[in-house]
C-alpha cells in the first residue's frame, strides 16, 4: 500500500525552482479575464500575491498547492 505525503507550498518550493505568475498568466490558466483574478484574490478565493519590486505576483508553488487542495 502506498503512503501519501501531504503536499504543501513549502514542499513544492523545495522540489522546483520557484516561479512567479502575473495576473495575466493566471487569467490564461483559468480562462478568465484578469479582473476576475483580482476579484478572486480580494475575496480570498486565491492565495495572496506577493509584492516584488512594486508588482504583485503569485507563487506557482502556492497556486499548484491551492489547486490540489481544491480538486
pLDDT in tens, 3-54: 666 777 776 666 667 889 999 999 999 999 999 999 999 999 999 999 989 9
> What ranges do the domains of the chain cover?
29-71
Chain centroid to CA 41? 10
pTM: 0.75
Amino acid at each position: 500500500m502506498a503512503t501519501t505525503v501531504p503536499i504543501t507550498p513549502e514542499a513544492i518550493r523545495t522540489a522546483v525552482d520557484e516561479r512567479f505568475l502575473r495576473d495575466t498568466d493566471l487569467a490564461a490558466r483559468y480562462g478568465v479575464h484578469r479582473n476576475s483574478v483580482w476579484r478572486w484574490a480580494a475575496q480570498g478565493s486565491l492565495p495572496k500575491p506577493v509584492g516584488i519590486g512594486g508588482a504583485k505576483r503569485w507563487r506557482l508553488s502556492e497556486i499548484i498547492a491551492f489547486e490540489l487542495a481544491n480538486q
